[in-house]
Structures are given as structure tokens and as C-alpha cells.
């Protein structure tokens, strides 16, 4: 009990809670209120979870749209949807926020732990973990992806501990079993595990890079863990199709990569790009000054992180998770040492109380969170949409599709955030053309569209305002509803 007391009221614990408070402040103040939980995908995830729990069957085909109705579709993130669904059912918008923050805080604390593991310097670990805090913006939202990054943190801890002689590899197979049912980022985790193990198959020194080969016993254990982990991937509701899904995204969903902002190349003119560039430059300068020895696997991880972050901004957070702990190694001693004998429990207790109070005060209210939802999605238009005759074919805005699916489960839609199925069936391309004001009449006639719900600004709305075949039947600060003139 005394040992637990000392740990709770320790300086490292204060730093950990300070990171948590910083992330919370970052989420609620540095981001505007209407961008905290406005991720458009969360709503179709909630709708999927509702279908699973009410029918007792996993989704295997589309039943939510009239454009791809009945086409095969797999719900590739079904497990990660459930925490958000139950949280929303119990606490509404605040429930989504709390699940999001709990997982995000777990990731940041995990990076802090990994940074300490690699550097054995709590102050260097704290400083390096700030990178993860600053780079959370790319993934901060009620997203299933956060669970993937949390699993990645756990995986790195297991791998790095194994290299230090602490065998926890038994954690990996069951973790991959859960991971593949939660998010497609399992594929990144599996690749990193393979790279880590492969780096130990060779031994040698190349300048400042060194690799220590695994012993025969270690190679045997690694082969077994890899084989069991791979086999367990197939224990999912969709079999091999879920295992192959990440390859489908990479090679068969070019429109997904084109039209989804987070799949865009990293923009170094934006703050996020500058942070990544500054981190990489800092890592390079520190290595020039300190000339430390690099493990081959660490170097390969950094190269993977750089490629991922620069190629797709979605993987900026991945770079923070991979590079932060390695940067902590180069920051050792930069802020002075930490002596546990100099602890001041009373001062630490006061600091923890203050930080806890800050977290309590900074947690947004249900009203503020819902206002952000109302400002982002067409909540005000829902009563008018309910008046549309049954069977009305509605062309909806892509970013609003999931919200409408959740709020109006009985009205089939044109499109929603389940991009893959719409890409494969050609619907995404038709939608993209119409949204940009190209081939509007052809698209509306092709799908026999009766009504169009779109944001007020944009080429499509401007086109319909001047098309005598359409009339504006509803408008608010957020949305415009057009109906075909009969």
C-alpha cells in the first residue's frame, strides 16, 4: 500500500496527468466546439451497431441505400463500434466524447510509457510525448481508428520489452484477434511485427546501426507467435475477406484516397506538417550531436513512419507513436535528472488536485457538444425530411449520409461514409461528378432522384438554384433541400 501511495503521489504521475490535461485542453479549446465530435463516420458506425444488436446478425450486405441495396458489404470495424454505441445510448453526445478521450488519453499515456521504457528518463519521456499530443488532431474524434493506435502502443511495448529480455509475446496473438475485429490498422501492426522480427535475423554493425541476431530459441518462439497471430486473424465474422480488406483499400479504392482529406499527402504549410518536419529535423540534429547507436529495427520503424506520414496525413499520429519514444532516447538528460529520493508527496498531491480540477472544468457540457453536432449536420432539416413521401429518392451530401442513416433508419439514402461499397459500384464517381457540378442532370436522371439535400455553398446547389426542373423547398443556415418539379 505504501508503494502504491508513493507511485500515485510521484513526480512521474504528475507529468502523466499533466499530459492528460493538456490533451483535454487541446481538444476542447484549441479545437472549436463543432469539430470535437463531428466526424461523419461515427453515425453510420452507430447505425451498424444498432443493426447488429437489434437483429443479432452481422451485416453482410447493404440495406441502408437505394443505390447499392443488396450488394455484399462487410462491417470491418464492428467491434470498435460497440463502445461508442453504448456510450451514446447512455450519455448521448457526451458519451461519444468520453470514449474518444479515454482512448486518446490511453494512447498518449502509452507513448509516455514507451518513451520512458526506451530512455529511462521521465523528463525526456514527458517532453517526447508532447509530440503525440500535438499530432492527435489528425485522429482526434469519435473514431474507431483510435482503438487501432491503442493496440499499436501495446504491441510496441511488448516488442521492445522482448528485446530487453522480458518475454510478453503471448500478448500478441489474442491482441491481433481483437484488433482485426476492431480496425483495419491491424495490418500496420502485423507489418511492424514482421519488420521487428526480421531485423533480428541478421547480425552486424553498419556505421551507427547495429543488429543483434536472435538466438535459435528466440527465432523458434517468434515463428510460433507470428504463425498463431496470423491464424487467429481468420477468427472473425467474415473470414478471409476481413483479412484481405486492407489490401482492397490500398489497391482498389483510389477514389477513397482521392476524396477523403485524411488520405491526402501531408501539407507542410499547415501546422501539423510543420510539427512533423520539426520533429524529424530535431531527431536528425540530436543524432548528429550525440551520435548514438541505432537498432536496425528502430531505423526501419522511423523510415516506415516517415513514409506513412508524408504520403498520407492519416498516418501522422502513427509517426508520433513510433518516433516519440526514439526521440526520448536522444533527449536523455536534457532537462536534468530525476531522483526518486527527492520526491515531495504533498506538493505532488496539490499538483494532481489542481490538474484534476482543470480536467473537470474543461470537459465540455452536453449542450456545447450537441451544438457542435447541430452546426455540422442537418439536424434542423430532419422534420422537413420526414415530410417527404415514402419512397423518395434523396441525393444526400456524402458527409451527412451517416448522420441521416442514424437519425432516419427507415429512409434509404444515396450515399454515406461507407466509401468502399460506393467506390466499387461506381456510385462514388457519379456522386463526385454531381457534387462538382458536372453531369448533374445525367446523374439525377440515372438514379431517378426526387430530392437533393446539400450544403448551401457548392457547385451542385448553385446549379439546382438555376435549373427550372428543380425547386428550393427548404433552406436553413446549414442545408438546402431541392425537390424535382412535377
Q: Where are the alpha helices (DSSP H) in 142-270?
A: 145-163, 172-182, 186-199, 216-232, 240-252, 254-259
Report d(CA 2, CA 8) in Å as an integer: 10
Which residues on neighbouring strands pair with residue 209, listed in sequence order? Answer: 206, 294
Report d(CA 64, CA 44) in Å as an integer: 10
All cell numbers assigned to 200: 533480428
Q: Which of 124, 142, 138, 54 is nearest to 324 (CA)?
A: 124
pLDDT per residue rounded down to tens, the chain (486 residues) = 556 667 778 888 899 999 999 999 888 875 565 567 788 999 999 999 999 999 999 999 999 999 999 999 999 999 999 999 999 999 999 999 999 999 999 999 999 999 999 999 999 999 999 888 887 777 788 999 999 999 999 999 999 999 999 999 999 999 999 999 999 999 999 999 999 999 999 989 988 899 999 999 999 999 999 999 999 999 999 999 999 988 877 666 666 656 666 667 777 777 777 878 888 888 888 777 777 888 999 999 999 998 888 888 788 888 889 999 999 998 888 777 777 778 788 888 899 899 999 888 888 888 888 888 998 999 999 999 999 998 899 999 999 999 999 999 999 999 999 988 998 889 999 999 999 989 999 999 999 999 999 998 889 999 999 999 999 999 999 999 999 987
Contact 111, 153 (CB under 8 A): yes
Angle at which helices 172-182 and 186-199 cross, to 10°? 150
Contact 159, 371 (CB under 8 A): no
All cell numbers assigned to 198: 526480421
**Residue 72 gets which letter from DSSP?**
B
Q: Which of 322, 286, 316, 317 is nearest to 115 (CA)?
A: 322
Listed by start position, the domains of the chain span: 2-30+74-349, 377-484
The pLDDT value recorded for residue 400 is 96
Amino acid at each position: 500500500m505504501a508503494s502504491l501511495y508513493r507511485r500515485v503521489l510521484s513526480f512521474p504521475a504528475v507529468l502523466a496527468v499533466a499530459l492528460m490535461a493538456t490533451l483535454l485542453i487541446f481538444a476542447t479549446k484549441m479545437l472549436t466546439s463543432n469539430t470535437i465530435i463531428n466526424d461523419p463516420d461515427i453515425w453510420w458506425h452507430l447505425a451498424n451497431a444498432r443493426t447488429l444488436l437489434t437483429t443479432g446478425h452481422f451485416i453482410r450486405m447493404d440495406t441502408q441505400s437505394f443505390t447499392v441495396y443488396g450488394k455484399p458489404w462487410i462491417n470491418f470495424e464492428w467491434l470498435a463500434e460497440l463502445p461508442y454505441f453504448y456510450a451514446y445510448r447512455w450519455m448521448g453526445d457526451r458519451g461519444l466524447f468520453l470514449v474518444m478521450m479515454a482512448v486518446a488519453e490511453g494512447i498518449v499515456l502509452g507513448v509516455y510509457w514507451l518513451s520512458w521504457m526506451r530512455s529511462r528518463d521521465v523528463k525526456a519521456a514527458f517532453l517526447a510525448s508532447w509530440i503525440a499530443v500535438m499530432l492527435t488532431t489528425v485522429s482526434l474524434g469519435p473514431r474507431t481508428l483510435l482503438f487501432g493506435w491503442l493496440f499499436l502502443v501495446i504491441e510496441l511495448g511488448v516488442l521492445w520489452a522482448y528485446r530487453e529480455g522480458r518475454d510478453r509475446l503471448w500478448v500478441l496473438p489474442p491482441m491481433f484477434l481483437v484488433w482485426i475485429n476492431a480496425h483495419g490498422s491491424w495490418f500496420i501492426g502485423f507489418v511492424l511485427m514482421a519488420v521487428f522480427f526480421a531485423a533480428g535475423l541478421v547480425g552486424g554493425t553498419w556505421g551507427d546501426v547495429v543488429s543483434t541476431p536472435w538466438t535459435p530459441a528466440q527465432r523458434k518462439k517468434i515463428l510460433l507467435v507470428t504463425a498463431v497471430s496470423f491464424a487467429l486473424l481468420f477468427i472473425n465474422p467474415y473470414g478471409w475477406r476481413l483479412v484481405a480488406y486492407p489490401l482492397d483499400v490500398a489497391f482498389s479504392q483510389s477514389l477513397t484516397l482521392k476524396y477523403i482529406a485524411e488520405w491526402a499527402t501531408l501539407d507542410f504549410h499547415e501546422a501539423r506538417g510543420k510539427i512533423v518536419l520539426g520533429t524529424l529535423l530535431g531527431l536528425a540534429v540530436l543524432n548528429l550531436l550525440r551520435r548514438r547507436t541505432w537498432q536496425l529495427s528502430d531505423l526501419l520503424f522511423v523510415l516506415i513512419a516517415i513514409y506513412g506520414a508524408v504520403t498520407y496525413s492519416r498516418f501522422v499520429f502513427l509517426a508520433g507513436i513510433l518516433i516519440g519514444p526514439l526521440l526520448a532516447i536522444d533527449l536523455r538528460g536534457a532537462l536534468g535528472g530525476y531522483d526518486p529520493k527527492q520526491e515531495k508527496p504533498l506538493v505532488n498531491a496539490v499538483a494532481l488536485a489542481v490538474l484534476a480540477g482543470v480536467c473537470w472544468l474543461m470537459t465540455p457540457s452536453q449542450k456545447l457538444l450537441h451544438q457542435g453536432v447541430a452546426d455540422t449536420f442537418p439536424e434542423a432539416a430532419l422534420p422537413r425530411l420526414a415530410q417527404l413521401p415514402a419512397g423518395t429518392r434523396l441525393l444526400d451530401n456524402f458527409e451527412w449520409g451517416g448522420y441521416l442513416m442514424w437519425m432516419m433508419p427507415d429512409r434509404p439514402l444515396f450515399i454515406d461514409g461507407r466509401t468502399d461499397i460506393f467506390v466499387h459500384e461506381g456510385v462514388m464517381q457519379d456522386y463526385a461528378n454531381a457534387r462538382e457540378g458536372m453531369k448533374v442532370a445525367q446523374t439525377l436522371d440515372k438514379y431517378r432522384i426526387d430530392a437533393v439535400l446539400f450544403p448551401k455553398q457548392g457547385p451542385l446547389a448553385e446549379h439546382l438554384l438555376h435549373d427550372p426542373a428543380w425547386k428550393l423547398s427548404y433552406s436553413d443556415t446549414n442545408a438546402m433541400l431541392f425537390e424535382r418539379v412535377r
